Amino acid sequence: MAKLVYGMNQSLDGYVDHTGFARGPGLFRHFIEQARAHAGSVYGRRLYEIMRYFDEDRPEWDAAERDFATAWRSHPKWVVSRSLKSVGPNATLVDTDLGPAIRALKARFDGEIEVGGPVLAKSLTDLGLIDEYRIYLHPVVLGGGTPYFAAPRPPLRLVASDPMGEDVIRLTYVPA
């Protein structure tokens, strides 16, 4: 059975914003390896639209960006959305009842399935489906934006803290 893992970059004041964080080479290497290891990814619409950037090669990419794109494209993606009518390559639209759809994915796959997007993570948390939370804590204060937790946080227990790259620490929590 797969483990559902919600992990995102977060500021010191609790917000996620892909434009608000510098991407150091050590952390990006970690994300490349993580993408290679995923059994798949479940995204909310907004984050999926951001990640679609990696669907097509771009001439300005360096080797690390090409490696990440290759890893990201290689695993299946499920996109939870009521507004999208279609999704890109190696992606499946989930527009039915969320709980049974995600439970079926967890039962069908082994390994880790990444969860992307705070609104989706809130829904999956409410259903008791997220097995692990990974906060990549950056020494940045954004002052506003989308919070990592889209609602009051569930009771959590810290199971690990690991330096990631130059100035980021990964905090790993499981439901208490």
The 10s digit of each residue's pLDDT in 101-153 is 999 999 999 999 999 999 999 999 999 999 999 999 999 999 999 999 988 87
Distant-in-sequence, close-in-space partners of 144: CB < 8 Å, separation ≥ 6: 15
Strand blocks (E) in 24-84: 40-44, 77-80
> Domains of the chain: which residue ranges?
3-163
Q: The pTM is what?
A: 0.94
pLDDT of residue 139: 95
pLDDT of residue 18: 83
Residue range 2-27, pLDDT digits in tens:
999 999 999 999 999 888 888 789 99
- What does the pLDDT read at residue 22? 80
| The pLDDT of residue 154 is above 90 | no
For residues 153 and 38, what is the distance between their CA atoms, to the nearest angstrom?
Answer: 25
CATH of domain 3-163: 3.40.430.10
Q: Which residues pair with 168 in a beta bridge?
A: 164
Q: Average of pLDDT values for 35-51?
A: 95
Question: From the CB of residue 19, how many other CB atoms can be counted at a distance below 10 Å?
Answer: 7
